[in-house]
Structure 1
Amino acid sequence: MRNAEFNDPRLVAVYDAECPWGRDDDFFLAEVGEAAEARVLDFGCGTGRLALALAAAGHTVTGVDPARASLEAARAKPGADRVTWVEGGWEVLPTGPYDVALMTSHVAQFVVDDEEWRQVLAALRRALRTGGRLLFDSRDPADRRWERWNPVDSRRSVHLPAGPVVLTWTDVTAVRDGVVHFTRHYRFGDDELRGEAMLRFRTEQELRGCLDEAGFRVERIHGGWQGEPVGVGDDGEFVVVATAV
């Protein structure tokens, strides 16, 4: 199954246990927190970790995601009634006006096709008021993070809150034209599930060009979650802050 960790209920539970609150969430929460009671659009909200925290902080939040299983997990969490949940992709993005739009947890990289990426950015621009901000993360291809996605370095045990320990690992199957193809493995005892996925690694120049074309001005791009310059530190990120013009 493509992107099974978001679409298979068993693997959604693994994703939630494997991906707790982190420094990236701290960054985005702090950035949005600069605007009191902001209207926030969280595109690719997944199981709602950040959307729920933003709502608890007093913001008006809409969470949009194409994966029904992930949204069902989000809707079942405490405080979910404070968020407006919408199932679908860029085609269902509301027109706003929003103060902030987010794509976190490398959602931008799951948009592999260039034309679809342009449509996503255009839809996000329509959703934002002039002067509103777009915040997202994308891995720096110069960091070559996919070289660590192998059965040895990526192997880990995930402890579910009420269930078995799940063994997971990743195996890269192809790298071409800026797109990394890989398989995620999940072993539940004697039962193994697999999920196929692709991620697009865009350069900083590519990101800046697409944002400019879509009607955004890039304010800053960090290389990590502490505001490091690009290429400095171990995070290997492009953390983008752009303004709708």
Structure 2
Amino acid sequence: MRHGEFHHPRLVRVYDAECPWARDDDWFLALVDETPAVRVLDLGCGTGRLALGVAAAGHTVTGVDPAGPSLAAARARPGADRVTWIEGTSAALPGRSFDVAVMTSHVAQFFVDDAEWARTLADLARALVPGGRLAFDSRDPADRRWERWNPVDSRRLITLPDGDVVRAWTEVTAVAGGVVGYTHHYLFADGEELLSSATLRFRTEEELRVSLRAAGFTVERVSGGWGGEPVGRGDGEFLVVARRTSTPGTDDLGVGAACLP
């Protein structure tokens, strides 16, 4: 199954158990908290871990995700009524409705096709108010993280809330031009094995910067780790913060603008 962790109810439970609140959530929450009581979009919100944390901190939050089973799990969480949940993609976003937009858990890498990535950034620029901020994480291809995704190094045990233990491991199925395909294996205590496959795009820092400029964003900073380390000296990440400055080809008054630098 493609993206089984988000679409198969049994794997959604595994995903939640394997991915509790962590330092990446702290980083995104701290960034949102830089301005009190803002309107926040969580695109690719999944089962709502970060969206609910941001709402609990006093912000107005909208969580958007195309996976119905993930959103069902989000809506069942305590405090879910504080968040507006939308099943859909960035195309469903209302215009000029958010002060901050976030994409967490490497959601940006699921947009493999450049045209799809460009459309998503354009939708985010449209959804943000002028000056609104976009933050997301993407793995640095120079770190070659996929080389650790093999049945030996990736083998792990995941304990579910009911005490059952799931055995899991990952194997890479294809690597070509910054695009990596992989399959997660999940073996349940009752003997059922479920597979979840996906493909990620590892864009370079320059590719990310160019795509953001083309969509009307100005990059404020790119760091390499959750502690603010420089690129190449942190956690093998690109942690990107950008600001919505204009619609491509125009300024915010609708007048033709000069070429972006």
Counterpart position of 1:135: 135
Residues 94-243 of structure 1: matches in 2 within 5 Å? Answer: 94-189=94-189, 190-233=191-234, 235-243=235-243
Could you give the per-residue CA deviations for residues 158-202 of structure 1, whole angstroms, max 9, x where no partner exists? Answer: 000015200011000100121100001000132100011000000
CA apart distance, 1:96:
3.3
Secondary structure of 1:227 counterpart: coil
TM-score by length of 1: 0.98
CA apart distance, 1:97:
2.2
Could you give the per-residue CA deviations for residues 49-83 of structure 1, whole angstroms, max 9, x where no partner exists? Answer: 00001100010000000000100000000000000
Instruction: Give the whole-Å Cα distance in 2 for the aligned partners of 1:3 and 1:85.
Output: 20
Secondary structure of 1:166 counterpart: strand
Counterpart position of 1:88: 88
Instruction: Give the whole-Å Cα distance in 1 for the aligned partners of 2:203 and 2:102.
Output: 18
Could you give the per-residue CA deviations for residues 7-40 of structure 1, whole angstroms, max 9, x where no partner exists? Answer: 1010000000000111110000000001110000
TM-score by length of 2: 0.92
What is the aligned length?
244
Letter of the 1:240 partner, please give it: V
User: Alignment identity in percent?
Assistant: 69
Could you give the per-residue CA deviations for residues 79-124 of structure 1, whole angstroms, max 9, x where no partner exists? Answer: 0000000001122122232100000000000111110000000000
Instruction: Give the whole-Å Cα distance in 2 for the aligned partners of 1:96 and 1:52.
Output: 22
Secondary structure of 1:241 counterpart: strand
Letter of the 1:71 partner, please give it: L
- How much is the aligned-residue C-alpha RMSD, in angstroms? 0.7
The runs of 5 or more residues in structure 1 that have no matched partner are none
**Structure with bigger gyration radius:** 2
Instruction: Give the whole-Å Cα distance in 2 for the aligned partners of 1:101 and 1:136.
Output: 9
Secondary structure of 1:194 counterpart: strand
Instruction: Give the whole-Å Cα distance in 1 for the aligned partners of 2:67 and 2:77.
Output: 16
Letter of the 2:228 partner, please give it: G
Letter of the 2:148 partner, please give it: R
Instruction: Give the whole-Å Cα distance in 2 for the aligned partners of 1:244 and 1:103.
Output: 15
Deviates more, 1:101-110 or 1:158-167: 158-167
Instruction: Give the whole-Å Cα distance in 1 for the aligned partners of 2:73 and 2:195.
Output: 20
Counterpart position of 2:259: none
Secondary structure of 2:108 counterpart: helix
CA apart distance, 1:132:
0.5
The runs of 5 or more residues in structure 2 that have no matched partner are 246-261
Letter of the 1:221 partner, please give it: V
Secondary structure of 1:99 counterpart: strand
Letter of the 2:99 partner, please give it: D
